[in-house]
């Protein structure tokens, strides 16, 4: 099943590491979109989805458990992509 993965990023080193990790984990099977939190529309959308810290990852429009206030947890994200 193909998933849409969205990453909310502020462009910091931690965000860049998360983007690289998510893209590597997602591979070509899933669509990955990166959103810049410096854009007003992106910040508003992030707030609607309950994003409280960055980087944050949404899988199919839902905030992934891997990003609940502590950064990306690869094992939790892997489970979300099954």
Q: Where are the domains of the chain?
A: 4-80
pLDDT tens per residue across span 53-76: 899 999 999 988 776 655 566 777
pLDDT tens per residue across span 12-32: 999 999 999 999 999 999 999
User: Strand 4-9 relative to strand 31-36: parallel, antiparallel, unpaired?
Assistant: parallel
* Residue range 4-80, CATH number: 3.40.30.10
pLDDT the model gives residue 26: 94
Q: CB atoms < 10 A from the CB of 43, how many?
A: 16
pLDDT the model gives residue 80: 83
Give the predicted TM-score (pTM) of the model. 0.79
């Amino acid at each position: 099943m193909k998933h849409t993965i969205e990453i909310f990023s502020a462009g910091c080193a931690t965000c860049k590491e998360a983007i690289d990790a998510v893209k590597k984990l997602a591979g070509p099977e899933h669509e990955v979109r990166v959103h810049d939190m410096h854009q007003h529309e992106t910040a508003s959308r992030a707030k609607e989805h309950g994003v409280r810290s960055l980087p944050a990852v949404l899988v199919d429009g839902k905030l992934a458990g891997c990003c609940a206030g502590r950064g990306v947890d690869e094992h939790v994200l892997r489970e979300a992509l099954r």
